[in-house]
């Protein structure tokens, strides 16, 4: 693997040297590819166009990110920004590379979560859009356009992850392929209309099962916090190492979103009947609401409190998008029509 890692470092150096003037663009692309964006941006946007597609996006995002966490714990992938120093292969020939504010993620590196979740979630979006265009226009060119954009997006997200030294190229490729397969598989098994007990059991089962896996591996002498220690040791700035990028943050986000999805479908199984204009208004209000929910400061000490509040935060995401905001908009617009 040393050869693969070394070639990845030199590729990152060339990429930074040739495209450093596009730093802001790569930073934006990596934020768009952040798994968190699937919950806070892609989900509400998709839901107010197609309720089933929106539910599918949330479902696929949660399961694919959870699987990515498990894969990372099993594969122990390095990250470029710490491997450069830890490998001691570059003492006499230091690469000219830079870290950025989004570089210092704390989980293992393989496979790339950004690439994997992006590939899975956006497959739901583009396949739905492609099917819609084909049924409306019967044009092969138009129906193929979303899939072309899908490939362009995956390539852009992958390059952005290499550029900021968060991943090696092979980790991005592995994440993209795995996410693509998961997107196809999970989008055909969307739990729309399932009882609340299903989502409660799934959320608790994934949470407890993952915690037990973590404890079991520790009993075997496998330290799963090794990557966090390396992140803190080799990140250029201490403030770039954030608790919300830790593996357990991903876990609580996924389990919270799944429980929230079940609660939302329990409160309002069929959703609120909204026309085009109220849907657009609901999307705007939901986006603003989720923006402020995401910006709520959480105490980082003790970590258990942080993870508990992080879980609650993402339980609220489906409530805001599927129940609270559409219900409020429906109430206001319905009253106006009656007046």
Residue 170 annotated in active site: no
* Residue 161 assigned to a binding site: yes
Q: Which are the contacts of 205, defined by CB distance < 8 A and separation ≥ 6?
A: none
Structure token pair of residue 71: 């894969």
Contact by Cβ (8 Å): 243, 302:
no
Considering the candidates 167, 170, 214, 330, report the single residue annotated as catalytic: 167
Among 2, 158, 167, 175, CA closest to 80: 167
CA-CA distance, 207 to 2, in Å (whole number)?
35
Between CA 29 and CA 27 the distance in angstroms is 5
Beta carbons of 120 and 182 less than 8 angstroms apart = yes
**Residue 79 annotated as binding site:** yes
Instruction: Check if 167 is active-site.
Output: yes
DSSP 299-312: --SSHHHHHHHHHH
DSSP summary character for residue 244: G
Whole-angstrom CA distances from 34 to 10, 40, 72, 157, 242 are: 24, 10, 16, 9, 14
**Catalytic pick among 31, 114, 134, 170:** 114
Report the alpha-carbon distance of residue 26 to residue 204 in Å, rounded: 36
DSSP state of 92: S
On whether the CB atoms of residues 248 and 306 are closer than 8 A, the answer is no
What length does the chain have? 339
Q: What is the largest CA-CA distance in the chain?
A: 78
Binding residue ranges for substrate: 79, 161
Active site residues: 114, 167
Mark the binding-site residues, compressed into ranges: 79, 161
């Amino acid at each position: 693997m040393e050869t693969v890692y070394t070639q990845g470092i030199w590729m990152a150096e060339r990429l930074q040297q040739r495209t450093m003037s596009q730093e802001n663009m790569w930073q934006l692309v990596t934020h768009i590819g952040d798994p968190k964006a699937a919950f806070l941006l892609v989900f509400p946007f998709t839901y107010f166009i197609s309720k089933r597609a929106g539910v599918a996006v949330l479902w696929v995002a949660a399961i694919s990110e959870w699987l990515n966490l498990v894969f990372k714990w099993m594969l122990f992938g390095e990250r470029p920004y710490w491997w450069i120093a830890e490998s001691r292969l570059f003492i006499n020939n230091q690469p000219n590379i830079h870290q950025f504010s989004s570089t210092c993620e704390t989980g293992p590196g393989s496979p790339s979560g950004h690439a994997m979740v992006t590939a899975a979630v956006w497959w739901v979006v583009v396949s739905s859009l492609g099917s819609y265009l084909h049924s409306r226009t019967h044009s092969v060119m138009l129906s193929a356009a979303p899939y072309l954009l899908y490939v362009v997006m995956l390539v852009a997200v992958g390059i952005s992850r290499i550029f900021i030294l968060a991943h090696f190229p092979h980790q991005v490729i592995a994440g993209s392929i795995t996410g693509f397969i998961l997107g196809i598989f999970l989008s055909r098994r969307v739990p729309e209309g399932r009882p609340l007990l299903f989502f409660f059991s799934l959320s608790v089962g994934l949470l407890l099962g993952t915690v037990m896996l973590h404890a079991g591996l520790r009993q075997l002498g496998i330290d799963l916090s090794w990557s966090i220690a390396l992140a803190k040791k080799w990140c250029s700035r201490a403030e770039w190492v954030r608790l919300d990028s830790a593996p357990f943050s991903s876990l609580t986000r996924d389990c919270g979103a799944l429980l929230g999805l079940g609660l939302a479908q329990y409160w309002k199984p069929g959703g609120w009947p909204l026309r085009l204009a109220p849907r657009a208004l609901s999307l705007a209000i939901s986006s603003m609401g989720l923006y402020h929910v995401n910006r709520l400061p959480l105490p980082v000490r003790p970590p258990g409190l942080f993870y508990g509040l992080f879980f609650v935060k993402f339980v609220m995401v489906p409530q805001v998008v599927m129940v609270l905001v559409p219900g409020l908009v429906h109430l206001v617009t319905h009253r106006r029509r009656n007046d």
